[in-house]
Amino acid sequence: MKMFQKILVANRGEIAVRVIRACHELGIAAVAVFSEVDRAALHVQRADEAYPIGPAPAAESYLNIERILDAAKKSGADAIHPGYGFLSENPNFARACAKAGFKFIGPPPSAMEAMGSKTRARQNMEQAGVPFVPGTAKGLRSAEEAEQLATKLGFPVMLKAAAGGGGKGMRLIDKAAELPSAFEAARSEASRAFGDDEVYLEKAIVNPRHIEMQVLADQHGNTVYLGERDCSIQRRHQKVVEEAPSPAVSPEMRRRMGEIAVRAAQAVGYTNAGTIEFLADEDGNFYFLEMNTRLQVEHPVTELITGLDLVQLQIRIAAGQPLPFRQEDIHLRGHAIECRVYAEDPENNYFPSPGQITSLTEPSGPGIRLDSGIYPGWNVPVDYDPLLAKLIGYAASREQAVGRLRRALDEYYVGGIKTNLPLFRHVFEDADFLAGKANTGFLSRFASRPQPAPPRREEEIAVIGAGIFQALTGGATSSKNSDEPHSGPSAWKQSAREEALS
Ligand code: MV4
């Protein structure tokens, strides 16, 4: 199989940098595309060549198939990697790439479509013998039908949009009386949001965990699973902390879940990297939720515990190479936890906090990986998802991985904009999290509890301390006798700490 010479990365931010790195490690040239506000972005700097694709709005740039293909033609790329988000799960884009002569690094468009509608996915899973949440595999025709089925299923039930996903168009219904209005509302919302008013019912799983299984399939009929990720710590359906392996999955459950995920992928002729999402209840039962037909944000935690490079494997698979291992060759080792660092203000309802990064200190050292898309001076645009970087801690045990992340968070400083870094410091002190008991309700319970003030940055402590020292001593230099042994933090630093923590 001939390996690609040049790959265009149809994305931006940290994932574009990630894919460019994989290309360079394989000796493949990388082409970046950028919108006007991304002209100076890190992924543009890291690529071998870069092409403008339009103004800031995604619809006129990163979602513009024609402009991306124009850039691919100009660059002479052989293949296109979509990253995640944007066009990564768009079958028309995958088809347009192939039609224009570029290999799309991802699944066949038919597999995307088989999993794109949640009811079609459920029908496919039913045929494949994959357990899915009890409910209707087809859309509901009327509120009356919804009421009959809901009564049969037993309340509470979940009303969901077939074209939805990620929690959009979903409603929890506790009793029959709520159904007629909820049914009409869900249909009109689905029609507005997705242009498809099909809605269906599921038995509601109370306090579920979101556990997803990574699968990898080549073009020669080999499909393997690479272990699960626990993504239960989410805020408004946005994942915040992900980890592998899941504290709630035993080796036996992993094997069962993995084999079912492989069956699900094979049922739709899947190739390349994909993820089967499950809901797990408190009794260890798990149910197919949906399939993500793309590489996911949280792929690094799987890479760290398997020792595999998923992006390089995606490229090899797209180039026609067979998987270089079998299922029995895959062994999980250690524990990895990922923090998604967002440009959001925790003290203002996590609203996006765009703007210029005036200073940046990034963590490193043992067991720390940082997939970052920013640099000092970068102006975080308001036009896109506010993900800045992913901070991942890896160690032999979950406890050690948490300890590494606590240390790395103390080293991490982003000046000029607000970030959600303080949130992780609190999560990694929480008893339920430390006990591995976090389910999808964790963050909402967590948010309702009073949080200690965020620790101040050394820099801020130093400035405060200097001011206090100046006030206390009228500006004299340290009165310490230079040959006295240093006895702990200096007075001004200590007083600054006391002031900062008051
Ligand atoms: C559910 C559920 C409980 N029961 N379905 C949310 C987004 C989408 N992936 C499916 N989701 C859910 N579906 C049934 N039958 C609870 C959720 C859910 C959830 C799932 C995974 C991760 C976070 C979540 C947060 C709220 C609700």
How many A from CA of 54 to the centre of ligand 1? 36
Q: Are 290 and 213 contained in the same domain?
A: yes
Q: Which residues of the chain carry a pLDDT beneath 70?
A: 1, 450-502
Rounded Cα–Cα distance for residues 50 and 27 (Å): 18
Q: What angle do CA 98, 100, 103 make, to 5 degrees?
A: 40
Q: Are 221 and 319 contained in the same domain?
A: yes
Domain assignment present for residue 112? The answer is: no
What sign results for the dihedral spanned by CA atoms 283, 285, 288, 292? positive
Q: Are 159 and 307 contained in the same domain?
A: no
Specify the pLDDT at position 308: 98
Query: For position 340, which CATH number holds?
Result: 3.30.470.20
Among protein residues, the one whose CA lies closest to atom 6 of ligand 1: 167
Q: Are 181 and 222 contained in the same domain?
A: no
CB atoms within 10 A of CB 237: 12
| 53 and 62 Cβ atoms separated by less than 8 Å | yes
The answer to whether the CB of 242 is under 6 A from ligand 1 is no
Residue 12 CA neighbour count, 13 Å, CB half: 29
Rounded Cα–Cα distance for residues 358 and 376 (Å): 6
Query: Hey, which residues does 393 pair with through a beta bridge?
Result: 337, 368
How many A from CA of 444 to the centre of ligand 1? 14
Pairing of strands 223-235, 238-244: antiparallel
Domain assignment present for residue 187? The answer is: yes
Rounded Cα–Cα distance for residues 225 and 259 (Å): 7
Q: Are 420 and 273 contained in the same domain?
A: yes
Pairing of strands 6-9, 29-35: parallel
Catalytic residue among 209, 294, 316, 425, which? 294
Q: Are 339 and 271 contained in the same domain?
A: yes
If one counts the domains in the chain, the total is 3
Across 44-54, b (16+ Cβ under 10 Å) vs e yields bebbebbbebb
Specify the pLDDT at position 19: 99
How many A from CA of 70 to the centre of ligand 1? 39
Q: For residue 415, what are the CA distances in angstroms to 69, 339, 456, 460? A: 37, 18, 12, 11
Ligand 1 atom nearest residue 133's Cα: 15
CB atoms within 10 A of CB 470: 12
Pairing of strands 49-54, 29-35: parallel
Tell which residue, 133, 195, 184, has the closest CA to residue 162. 195
Long-range contacts (CB closer than 8 Å, 24 or more residues apart) made by 171-180: 172/204, 173/204, 176/147, 176/150, 176/151, 179/143, 179/146, 179/147, 179/150, 180/143, 180/147
Q: Are 143 and 34 contained in the same domain?
A: no
Domain assignment present for residue 22? The answer is: yes
As a dihedral over the C-alpha atoms of residue 55, residue 60, residue 63, residue 64, rounded to 10 degrees, the angle is: -110
Domain assignment present for residue 53? The answer is: yes
Q: Are 381 and 257 contained in the same domain?
A: yes
Domain assignment present for residue 462? The answer is: no
Domain assignment present for residue 474? The answer is: no
Tell which residue, 313, 144, 127, 281, has the closest CA to residue 204. 281
For residue 193, the enclosing domain spans: 134-203
Q: Which residue has the tokens 């946005």?
A: 238
User: Which run of H or of E encompasses 390?
Assistant: strand 387-395
Q: Are 197 and 219 contained in the same domain?
A: no
The answer to whether the CB of 158 is under 6 A from ligand 1 is yes
Q: Are 157 and 82 contained in the same domain?
A: no
Q: Can you read off the two tokens belonging to residue 95?
A: 């088809």
CA 48 from chain centre, in angstroms, equals 26
Specify the pLDDT at position 371: 98
CA 220 from chain centre, in angstroms, equals 29
Compute the residue count for the chain: 502
Domain assignment present for residue 352? The answer is: yes
The answer to whether the CB of 161 is under 6 A from ligand 1 is no
Domain assignment present for residue 114? The answer is: no
CA 498 from chain centre, in angstroms, equals 38
Angle of helix 91-99 versus helix 109-116 axis, rounded to 10: 170
Q: Catalytic residue at 187? A: no
The answer to whether the CB of 318 is under 6 A from ligand 1 is no
